[in-house]
Structure 1
Amino acid sequence: MDTVSVVAALNSDLCVSGGKDKTVVAYNWRTGNVVKRFKGHEREITKIACIYKSSQFFSASRDKMVMMWDLQSSSQPRQQFSGHTMVVTGLTVSPGEVKPTSSQHQHCGTFLKSPVPSPSHGPSCHCSLRFITTVYWLPQLQVHFSTFTANSFAAVISFRLWDSRGLQVAHTFPTQQHIQTYCEVSEDGHKCVSCSSGFEGEGCEATLWDLRQTRSRICEYRGHFQTVASCIFLPRALASMPAIATSSHDCKVKIWNQDTGACLFTLSLDGSGPLTSLAVADTISLLCVSFSRGIHLLRVDRSQGLELREVAAF
């Protein structure tokens, strides 16, 4: 009923979104039909994390809460996790039993173990950081997660690896010039792509990192003119080559050659407002969230070269 903020795939047919109306909604993205609405948060939904190919997912909100939901149970949350003192801005599901979150406060992460017998929160780490914009588990190095942090006092924008066993910094990557808004790790756990804030072409880039040699970035993807809010690795079957997709507040989705940084295709969703979230739906389809028009279903067409077209919005 209001701006959609984030979307994530739950399985090959369903996705879950959250927005400013405080509601979490499960859709059949193939038909655009609402499957179920979930209400429990008191403020805007900021993040969604799904346990893929299951019925369970998590939501984070500006109400400082994280909630666990189950598509097969009632529309009320199965679990509620408290402990953050400000807006929860990062949420991810680990390959095993640990769910970390991040908050715009003096925390680098809070670990919530699942199954969770009670809504109490796990151990947290306090450090001199202003806020964390996203967290992501490294799938092959299960004891680490990656996070982007910004210290507003020193204007230091950094990407860090944390050892989840002791909540200590394992590595800090070279300082960036703009706030890192999102990150995703490749399926093999070897690479990470991040994206940055910006305006009028200053900043507004995505950056590829090699997590095995952490001294410098591999490649940058430049061409957006406003904040890049989301970046994802694409299945090889979708682009027939290693590729990355980005969405931006400039109303554009771009597909990039992962190795060369060349822009392969640009789709303009004019009139949609800022594009804030991307998710892979299947090997030929993407889901993209916009401020004004909800969720866009995008499909790759290779009949005349690589093209991306909108086939539905809901």
Structure 2
Amino acid sequence: MGKLQSKLRHSTYNKYSMPDGIVEERGPARAFLDYSPAHADAAVTAVAALSSDMCVSGGKDKTVVAYNWKTGNVVRRFQGHEREITKVACIPRSSQFFSASRDKMVMMWDLRSSSWPKQQLSGHAMVVTGLAVSPDSARLCTGSRDNTLLMWDVGTGQCVERVSVSRNLVTHLCWVPQEPYVLQTSEDKTIRLWDTRGLKVAHMFPAKQHIQTYCEVSVDGHQCVSCSNGFGGDGCEATLWDLRQTRNKICEYKGHFQTVASCVFLPRAWALMPVIATSSHDCKPAFSPWLWTDQGP
């Protein structure tokens, strides 16, 4: 999808079945809302929530955009990267956010300041593929295809820790809420839990059969989900893990036919068990993600 969705139908989707027989339950359709393009003629590669009505996106056009989804308008554009944006991450309860790029740089921006970066963090030798901001907003963890993780002091912009693991081509990073841990997926098919107090591996989950493309941690920090690449239904799964003492695999969800690119925990307003949404390269509708519970789809 080359742009942020230009038209969004407000419908209520309650149930999805397996790909060979989609079952939809929806409420009454409402009017379309027209949105102005965020990245004209360029793919959107990353998005993150900045506030309840504002999101930040990065694109192949090398720009970062602050977008008000309620009004459907671009608020500001930020330029500074020399190549496409790979990740964006927002500082909680602030107007500041970070972007990572294929130009090996990480930049810090402020919606209420100038359109130029407040900080330019240089330390990786290859494309930056992971960004995670600590819950207290004091530190930033970055990862790259150069096999390294770097820990930065947000206030000073200085790198305070560096660690390298052979073949650890980082695909995604996320911070565990209220904990000194960072979860990381890699092209070496592993999921690592890092203790940021010294930046050491605290736990490695059992290796999967396919590249791990993305990870997400539940709001309570008790569980995490990772997803895999694949083709023709081989791989293409999401895996739910326990982050507490046992750190076991809880269950695995299959149904996609191509690489699962991202995953997220959804609020439990109507379910007692975790609800997970996944997106895939198998061209499922952009606003109709697969919905799962730990009892299956």
Same-fold call, TM cutoff 0.5 = yes
1:6 to 40, 46, 63: 46
Deviations 1:61-91 (A, max 9, x none): 0000000000001111011100100000000
1:78-227 aligned at under 5 Å gives the runs 78-96=118-136, 97-107=138-148, 109-116=149-156, 119-141=157-179, 143-151=180-188, 157-214=189-246, 216-227=248-259
- Range with greater deviation from structure 2 (249-258 or 200-209): 249-258
Note the C-alpha offset of 1:168.
Answer: 1.5
Counterpart-to-counterpart distance in 2, 1:82 and 1:214: 37
Counterpart-to-counterpart distance in 1, 2:85 and 2:52: 23
Counterpart-to-counterpart distance in 1, 2:269 and 2:192: 31
- Counterpart contact for 2:173–2:215, Cα < 8 Å: yes
Q: Would you say 1:41 and 2:81 are equivalent positions? A: yes
2:296 to 238, 241, 261: 261
Deviations 1:10-49 (A, max 9, x none): 1110000001000000100112200000000000100000
1:59 to 67, 84, 99: 99
Counterpart-to-counterpart distance in 2, 1:217 and 1:79: 39
- Counterpart contact for 1:196–1:229, Cα < 8 Å: yes
* Identity level (%): 64
Counterpart AA for 1:200: G
Structure 2 match to 1:30: 70
Note the C-alpha offset of 1:129.
Answer: 2.2
Cα 1:242–1:126 shift into 2, 3 Å: closer
Structure-1-length-normalised TM-score: 0.77
Aligned partner of residue 72 in structure 1, secondary structure: coil
Cα 1:170–1:42 shift into 2, 3 Å: same
1:220-259 aligned at under 5 Å gives the runs 220-237=252-269, 242-252=274-284, 253-259=288-294
Counterpart-to-counterpart distance in 2, 1:71 and 1:89: 23
- Counterpart contact for 1:9–1:52, Cα < 8 Å: no
The aligned length equals: 253
Structure-2-length-normalised TM-score: 0.81
Aligned partner of residue 187 in structure 2, secondary structure: strand
Aligned partner of residue 53 in structure 1, secondary structure: coil
**Structure 1, unaligned stretches of length 5 or more?**
152-156, 263-314
Cα 1:130–1:169 shift into 2, 3 Å: closer
Aligned partner of residue 125 in structure 1, secondary structure: strand
Aligned partner of residue 269 in structure 2, secondary structure: helix
**Structure 2, unaligned stretches of length 5 or more?**
1-39
Aligned partner of residue 289 in structure 2, secondary structure: strand
Note the C-alpha offset of 1:240.
Answer: 7.5
Note the C-alpha offset of 1:215.
Answer: 5.0
Cα 1:39–1:186 shift into 2, 3 Å: same
Deviations 1:74-114 (A, max 9, x none): 1110111001000000001111211100010131x101112
Note the C-alpha offset of 1:126.
Answer: 1.7
- Counterpart contact for 1:174–1:215, Cα < 8 Å: no
Note the C-alpha offset of 1:130.
Answer: 4.0
Counterpart-to-counterpart distance in 2, 1:258 and 1:140: 24
Aligned partner of residue 208 in structure 2, secondary structure: coil
Higher relative contact order (CA 8 A, sep 6+): 1
Deviations 1:147-204 (A, max 9, x none): 11233xxxxx111111111221111111101111111100110000111111111111
Cα 1:241–1:215 shift into 2, 3 Å: closer
Structure 1 match to 2:15: none
- Counterpart contact for 1:221–1:256, Cα < 8 Å: no
Counterpart-to-counterpart distance in 1, 2:291 and 2:67: 28
